[in-house]
A and B are shown apart, each in its own frame.
Chain A
Amino acid sequence: MHFDFSLLTTELSMFILGLATFVLGLVVPSRSRRGIGAFALFGLLAVLGLTVLNWDQQGVLLNGMYLVDRYAMFFKILCLSTAILVIFGSLRYVNEHLGNHFEYYSTIVFATLGMMVIASAGDFISLYLGIELMTISFIILVAFRSQDGKSLEAGIKYLLQAGLSSAVILYGFSLIYAATGTIVILEVAHATLQGQASPLLIAGMVMLVAGLGFKVSAVPFHMWSPDVYEGAPTPVTAFLAVGSKAVSFAALLRLFVAGLAGVHQQWDILVAVLAALSMIIGNLVAIPQTNIKRLLAYSSIAQAGYLLVGLVTASPAGIKAVMFYSFLYVFATVGAFTVVAVVYNKIKSDEIADYAGLVQRAPLAAAVMLICLLSMAGIPPLAGFVGKFYLFSTVVSGYLWLVYLGLIMSMISVYYYLRVVLVMFRDDPKDPAPIEMGSAANITLIITMVATIFLGIYPNPLSEVANSAAISFFLK
């Protein structure tokens, strides 16, 4: 059988980049390792360019094991952009808090490669491989501050969570295989569309919801995320909150909307309830938080709830809404966490109270935080509003209660987001010394801010791209 390697261009170049970063780190003496971050950064930019050029590439490898389509390309571009923004934002943080570790960069590259494999995975094996590559890389990254007890605790918690969720996902895969006799997602789709929903299939489906629920930190599988987000190095938290969550949604869409389309009647209410619970608990528990990273962790649980809403109807509009929202979620979240990282560099604290008067000390950081938080809350001129509009308009007919709940919870979220803004803008700083941020972090901050504003005012280009990608999803 002919194996078309050109379909794997982006993955192979990513793999080579990861190895090259690693080898370079081994051969370069430790004092001149600073350049490795820049090397990884330019490599990622090159791979991103390559992926954009390959946008129209389509194909299926190994009888459906690996799918290359616009849907996969969209999520690959998303992961690569996230990795690039995270590295830009963290060059200084890494040097100051993690030491000259080249492993950091090569592990980020491999985690991104895992995400790309998930986005393209066409059967259970390749999907599982991608999930494991991503998760194991993240375990390393989360525990990277090995001198810090909290980081190690976070690493152990993430390890346990990862093991548990992998086991549950695998069990789900095996049950679905038992029910349908195939592991290729498109063949599972044929089997479920024809036959009756057997109890075995339903059990497997519930397992998959639970396993991937851990990955996207949907309530009630969210317990790990505040602790891990708080303990992990801040750039890693941003990467975890965005990249890992977005591709887990890519996998959820592929598995449920494509694979288990025949049993949609059985899973839509399950997903709707998870979405509702995540929105309620994420937003309500965020209110009393005093640590900014924990606040953002609970807010990201609530965001997972919003994203799950797009899954409920299993329609092209829903898929498009999830893709659109996850892309602008990249900018808002990476922006917010980069501010947290640069502020931590100076004041060594993640407490919201210590953000007092940030607007006087670092006007750009305060502005970015404001824009990102308001976008997450869904205030109209910003991107988050458009994203939420797309998400909730898919469920207006049929799940109206979900729309009302989403609206109420968005209003509640405005309260705790604005509380941070209030501290930054109203209170006087304890120490008026300005916070310098470094030019690389500034790039991330400016890109995220401009993108969040631009996508809110003029969402059409991204919306069209997401639309064409969502259509490619159904052309099988």
Chain B
Amino acid sequence: MSDWVGVALFLVVGLVFGAGGLLTSFLIHPRSKNKYKLETYECGLPTEGPSWIRFKTQYFTYALMFVIFDVEVIYLYPWAVSFENLGFAGLVKMFIFIFILVLGLWYAWKEGALEWK
């Protein structure tokens, strides 16, 4: 049971820490209102023109292709780290893996997924 006390304590401290910061800032921050404060900040810009426009679905195929090779890297890193232990069999297996992925790239290329029209 005593293990859970730590968890409860963690929860309470977490709540106090989060809520405390918000509360303190609410109490002491200077209040000045102007239109610049309502603008987008940090990430993003105000839109130019209407935002409900159609955009090319080709972004999607690009994103898909990107994700495939992005995920491939996740497998390549641990493989590269323990490359010496895996030996020749490891090399062959990774080649099979990459061959299958390249097959997909080849297909996408042939179907024209990489051409921006």
Interface presence of A450 (CB below 8 A) = no
Closest to A30 in B: B110
Within 8 A of B (CB), among A1-39: 19, 22-23, 26
Interface presence of B63 (CB below 8 A) = no
A23, B110: Cα distance in complex, Å: 12
Interface-centre pick from B100, B103, B107 (highest chain A CB count, 10 A):
B107
A22, B100: Cα distance in complex, Å: 11
**Contact residues in A for B110 (Cβ distance below 8 Å):** 26
Chain B proximity mask over A23-62: 1 for CB below 8 Å, otherwise 0: 1001000000000000000000000000000000000000
**Contact residues in B for A22 (Cβ distance below 8 Å):** 103, 107
A23, B106: Cα distance in complex, Å: 9
Chain A proximity mask over B80-117: 1 for CB below 8 Å, otherwise 0: 00000000000000000000100100110010000000
**Contact residues in B for A19 (Cβ distance below 8 Å):** 100, 103
Main SS class of interface, A: helix
Total A-B residue pairs with C-beta atoms closer than 8 Å? 9
**Contact residues in B for A23 (Cβ distance below 8 Å):** 103
A224, B20: Cα distance in complex, Å: 51
**Contact residues in A for B106 (Cβ distance below 8 Å):** 26
**Contact residues in A for B107 (Cβ distance below 8 Å):** 22, 26
A9, B10: Cα distance in complex, Å: 55
A19, B107: Cα distance in complex, Å: 12
Closest to A102 in B: B107
A309, B100: Cα distance in complex, Å: 42
| Nearest CB of chain B from residue A118's CB, rounded to whole Å | 21
A329, B110: Cα distance in complex, Å: 40
Within 8 A of B (CB), among A351-380: none
A26, B102: Cα distance in complex, Å: 12
**Contact residues in A for B100 (Cβ distance below 8 Å):** 19
| Nearest CB of chain A from residue B94's CB, rounded to whole Å | 17
Within 8 A of B (CB), among A76-119: none
A326, B105: Cα distance in complex, Å: 39
A23, B107: Cα distance in complex, Å: 9
| Nearest CB of chain A from residue B16's CB, rounded to whole Å | 33
Closest to A22 in B: B103
**Contact residues in A for B103 (Cβ distance below 8 Å):** 19, 22-23, 26
**Contact residues in B for A26 (Cβ distance below 8 Å):** 103, 106-107, 110
| Nearest CB of chain A from residue B93's CB, rounded to whole Å | 12
| Nearest CB of chain B from residue A110's CB, rounded to whole Å | 11
A22, B111: Cα distance in complex, Å: 13
A170, B43: Cα distance in complex, Å: 37
A390, B103: Cα distance in complex, Å: 47
A43, B107: Cα distance in complex, Å: 22
A462, B110: Cα distance in complex, Å: 46
A227, B107: Cα distance in complex, Å: 30
| Nearest CB of chain B from residue A454's CB, rounded to whole Å | 42
A19, B101: Cα distance in complex, Å: 12
A26, B107: Cα distance in complex, Å: 7
| Nearest CB of chain B from residue A137's CB, rounded to whole Å | 14
Closest to B107 in A: A26
A162, B107: Cα distance in complex, Å: 25
A26, B111: Cα distance in complex, Å: 10
Closest to A23 in B: B103
A19, B103: Cα distance in complex, Å: 9
| Nearest CB of chain A from residue B78's CB, rounded to whole Å | 19
Within 8 A of B (CB), among A445-475: none
Closest to B109 in A: A26
Closest to B106 in A: A26
Within 8 A of B (CB), among A326-362: none
Closest to B100 in A: A19
| Nearest CB of chain B from residue A309's CB, rounded to whole Å | 42
| Nearest CB of chain B from residue A27's CB, rounded to whole Å | 10
A22, B110: Cα distance in complex, Å: 12
Closest to A25 in B: B107
Closest to B110 in A: A26
| Nearest CB of chain A from residue B72's CB, rounded to whole Å | 18
A22, B106: Cα distance in complex, Å: 11
Within 8 A of A (CB), among B51-77: none
A22, B103: Cα distance in complex, Å: 9
A26, B103: Cα distance in complex, Å: 9
| Nearest CB of chain A from residue B98's CB, rounded to whole Å | 13
| Nearest CB of chain A from residue B106's CB, rounded to whole Å | 6
| Nearest CB of chain B from residue A18's CB, rounded to whole Å | 10
A26, B105: Cα distance in complex, Å: 11
| Nearest CB of chain A from residue B109's CB, rounded to whole Å | 9
Closest to B104 in A: A22
A22, B102: Cα distance in complex, Å: 12
| Nearest CB of chain B from residue A179's CB, rounded to whole Å | 23
9 residue pairs bridging A and B, Cβ less than 8 Å apart: A19-B100, A19-B103, A22-B103, A22-B107, A23-B103, A26-B103, A26-B106, A26-B107, A26-B110
What 7 new A-B contacts, CB under 8 Å, besides A19-B103, A26-B106? Answer: A19-B100, A22-B103, A22-B107, A23-B103, A26-B103, A26-B107, A26-B110
9 closest cross-chain pairs (CB), A and B: A26-B110, A26-B106, A26-B107, A22-B103, A23-B103, A19-B103, A22-B107, A19-B100, A26-B103
Q: Measuring CB to CB, which residues of chain A are less than 8 angstroms from any residue of chain B?
A: 19, 22-23, 26
